[in-house]
Amino acid sequence: MKSELLAVVSGRKSIRFQMIWTFVASFLTSSVASILIPRGFIFEIPISVIAFVATFGLSFAAYTRHTIKYMQKITEGLTAISEGQLNYRLPSVRSDELGTIARHINAMAEKLESSIEKERQAEKLKMELITGVSHDLRTPLTSIIGYLELLKEKAYRDDEEVERFIANTHHKARQLKSLIDELFEYTRLSQGEAKLETETVDLRAMLNQMLSELEPLANDQLIELDSELPDAPLFMTIDPEKTRRAVDNLLMNALKHSVKPGTVRVSLVSDDGRVSIVVENEGEPISKEQEARLFDRFYKADESRTNKDPQAGTGLGLAITRGIAELHGGQATLRHSEGRFSFAFVVPHEAAK
């Protein structure tokens, strides 16, 4: 307390006291100068008075030069920031009110810079959204148009080829609808428009059914499905359709990116106040940067491969899974080590019944 008071009175933390001590020092310096000057008059004005005034002005200017220079730096800084140099920072070396002003100006500039950077990122994401949607919708649409033109121009050999064209067109149309549904789902989640329609369901039974339905596709891709589910039913109050969508995204992601032949392991774990659906697989190792961005919208860790694969999807699957988990008050997580991936869809245990 005493040291704080001393700092204020001495002027280190108070510009008011700095001015007082500057005035006192200037007064004493000019008084001494006026005493030492010989007596006499200039234009009927005592030389001692002239010396006092001149010395006082010079002394005051000398004693306040650092403060004036610092105020000039503040002015220069405000000018630079107002001209758009938001990375400009004032030196905050003083402990008085001017130092506080400098720190506040720096904080203001930092917030402005951060706000503008967020706006730039938002604009960039909008452009990525448009680019991603255009690219992913154009691929199946181009195929549909191509097959329809072949049928229109009767550019087929026989009825069997007609059936193949129709089947391919139907397949591409369903793929296009799936992409549009995925985009619509993500838009609703990201804008907070999605609502939960909860029911009490047996999560263990739902996973068993999903794995049974997925088994033929997994076998075609030389993937073995391995499950570790509890013996007893696990009833939870969740949105079953959204939860199924979220888990299906994790399973499809694992099938696409697993080494082949390989194994995808699915487990249902209830502990530490939460319930986790964990999907594990082995694939190509990814970098820390890729790992951090896997749940971002339109992000594809292997862009060169997914661009060649028409079934690769929009890159929204994991982002949708994360949105659905957060809508339930949970989270979607990833643990990765040397190509071993462990994705988890986690919801609070209090939802369990």
Q: Is the entire prediction scored with pTM above 0.75?
A: no
Please give the structure tokens belonging to residue 261.
Answer: 């032949």
Please give the structure tokens belonging to residue 322.
Answer: 């994360």
The model's pLDDT over 245-267, given as tens digits with 9 standing for 90+, comes to 999 999 998 998 899 899 999 99
Mean pLDDT of 198-217: 91
The model's pLDDT over 144-203, given as tens digits with 9 standing for 90+, comes to 999 899 888 888 888 888 899 999 999 889 888 878 887 878 777 877 777 888 899 999
Three-state DSSP state, 327: helix
Mean pLDDT, rounded, of the chain: 83
Strand partners, 265: 226, 280
Give the C-alpha separation, 290 to 279, whole Å. 19
pLDDT at 12: 67
pLDDT at 186: 78
Strand partners, 237: 200
Greatest C-alpha distance within the chain = 127
pLDDT at 344: 93
> Cα–chain-centroid distance for residue 21?
51
pLDDT at 304: 41
pLDDT at 146: 92
Looking only at the bridges linking them, the beta strands covering 223-228 and 262-271 are: parallel
Residue 299 CA neighbour count, 13 Å, CB half: 14
Residue type, 329: G
The model's pLDDT over 287-329, given as tens digits with 9 standing for 90+, comes to 887 777 777 755 555 544 344 443 445 567 888 899 999 989 9
Looking only at the bridges linking them, the beta strands covering 331-337 and 262-271 are: unpaired
pLDDT at 95: 80
